[in-house]
């Protein structure tokens, strides 16, 4: 086998992990990714139609992070190089539930642990995360407030003040509202605002959408449940 080919697949100076190590850690990260996705689904009580993509993302992310950790190894230079390369990646997806972010970080931590050879740490941490999620789900989160949660998207004309335009109607129908994203729409002629909201227990989603549509300056309304 040519030396250049050996160097290309085996790294420089014999620093690369062996094939057995690579395969075992990637398989372990694949298994761990499914466990992470399972903890997410059970811990948050999400139905399949409510979390169609994030469990898949958690599985893939665990494997990718394990690969990244294997690539870095003990090299500080490679670590800084990967940080620089990944810094150009930008994501515009709105996170509808902040707890989803915690599980993304959880998948990263498990992937790093397995890639660095601390697989036991990743698997031991899973019951702890599941236990904490279940406590927050049944003991704190669901008793803090009642009412249907969802994501509200409203398009308003450019130059209008959202608080002045929408504030009264939103306070009438919602117990909780939080702006999670904004972007231009209709080729820059409008602004689309994305809110994470919680309806009042006796509130009506139809009434909320109808009242918002009656406001002059509102160009579109969409309410998605979660």
CATH number, position 186: 3.30.70.60
Per-residue model confidence (pLDDT) at position 145 = 44
Give yes or no: residues 47 and 106 share one domain: yes
Both tokens assigned to 108: 């990263």
Give yes or no: residues 49 and 80 share one domain: yes
Give yes or no: residues 76 and 168 share one domain: no
Contact 193, 162 (CB under 8 A): yes
Report if residue 124 sits inside a domain. Answer: yes
Q: Measured on CA atoms in the order 169, 171, 176, 179, is the torsion positive or negative?
A: positive
Q: Structurally, how many domains does the chain consist of?
A: 2
Instruction: Give the residue from 175, 96, 97 showing the smallest Cα distance to 133.
Output: 97
Per-residue model confidence (pLDDT) at position 195 = 92
Longest dimension (CA), the chain: 74
Q: Count how many Cα atoms sit within 13 Å of the Cα of residue 157 in the half-sphere of its side chain.
A: 9
How far is Cα 153 from Cα 92, in angstroms, rounded to an integer? 15
Per-residue model confidence (pLDDT) at position 144 = 42
Give yes or no: residues 98 and 191 share one domain: no
In angstroms, what is the C-alpha Rg of the chain? 23
Print the domain residue range for 119.
7-144
Per-residue model confidence (pLDDT) at position 99 = 79
Residue with tokens 């930008």: 90
Per-residue model confidence (pLDDT) at position 184 = 86
Per-residue model confidence (pLDDT) at position 27 = 93
Give yes or no: residues 55 and 130 share one domain: yes
Query: Which of 144, 164, 184 is where one domain is finished?
Result: 144
Give yes or no: residues 219 and 195 share one domain: yes
Give the global pTM. Answer: 0.58
Give yes or no: residues 131 and 66 share one domain: yes
Give yes or no: residues 120 and 31 share one domain: yes
Q: Which residues contact 192 (CB under 8 A, 6 or more apart)?
A: 153, 154, 155, 182, 183, 184, 185, 220
Give yes or no: residues 169 and 139 share one domain: no
Report if residue 22 sits inside a domain. Answer: yes
CA dihedral 154, 159, 161, 166 (to 10 degrees): -30
Query: Could you give phi then psi for residue 125, rounded to 5 degrees?
Result: -70, -20
Give yes or no: residues 76 and 34 share one domain: yes
**DSSP state letter for 108:** H
Report if residue 2 sits inside a domain. Answer: no
Contact 73, 14 (CB under 8 A): no
Query: Which of 112, 144, 176 is where one domain is finished?
Result: 144
Both tokens assigned to 7: 């160097």
Residue with tokens 């009434």: 207
Query: Which of 106, 122, 144 is where one domain is finished?
Result: 144
Report if residue 126 sits inside a domain. Answer: yes
Give yes or no: residues 46 and 154 share one domain: no
Going residue by residue through the chain, which has 226 residues, state the pLDDT in tens, using 9 for 90 and above: 555 445 555 555 556 678 888 889 999 999 999 999 989 888 877 655 555 678 888 999 999 999 988 888 877 777 777 776 666 656 656 666 677 888 888 999 999 999 888 888 889 999 999 888 888 777 654 444 456 788 899 999 888 888 888 988 988 888 888 888 888 887 778 899 999 888 887 778 888 888 999 999 898 999 887 5
Give yes or no: residues 173 and 204 share one domain: yes
How far is Cα 18 from Cα 157, in angstroms, rounded to an integer? 59
Both tokens assigned to 82: 């990967």
């Amino acid at each position: 086998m040519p030396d250049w080919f050996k160097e290309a697949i085996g790294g420089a100076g014999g620093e690369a992990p062996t094939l057995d190590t690579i395969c075992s850690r990637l398989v372990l990260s694949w298994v761990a990714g499914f466990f992470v996705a399972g903890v997410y689904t059970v811990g948050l009580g999400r139905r399949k139609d409510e979390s169609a993509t994030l469990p898949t993302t958690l599985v893939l992310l665990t494997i990718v992070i394990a690969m990244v950790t294997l690539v870095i190894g003990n090299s500080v230079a490679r670590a800084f190089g990967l940080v620089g390369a990944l810094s150009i990646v930008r994501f515009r997806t709105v996170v509808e539930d902040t707890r989803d972010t915690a599980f993304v970080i959880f998948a990263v931590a498990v992937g790093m642990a397995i890639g660095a050879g601390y697989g036991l740490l990743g698997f031991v941490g899973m019951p702890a995360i599941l236990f904490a999620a279940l406590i927050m789900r049944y003991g704190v989160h669901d008793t803090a407030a009642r009412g249907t949660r969802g994501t509200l998207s409203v398009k308003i004309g450019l130059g209008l003040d959202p608080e002045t335009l929408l504030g009264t109607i939103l306070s009438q129908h919602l117990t909780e509202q939080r702006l999670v994203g904004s972007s231009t729409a209709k080729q820059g002629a409008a602004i689309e605002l994305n809110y994470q909201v919680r309806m009042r227990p006796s509130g009506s989603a139809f009434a909320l959408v109808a009242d918002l549509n009656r406001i002059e300056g509102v160009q579109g309304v969409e309410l998605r449940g979660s």
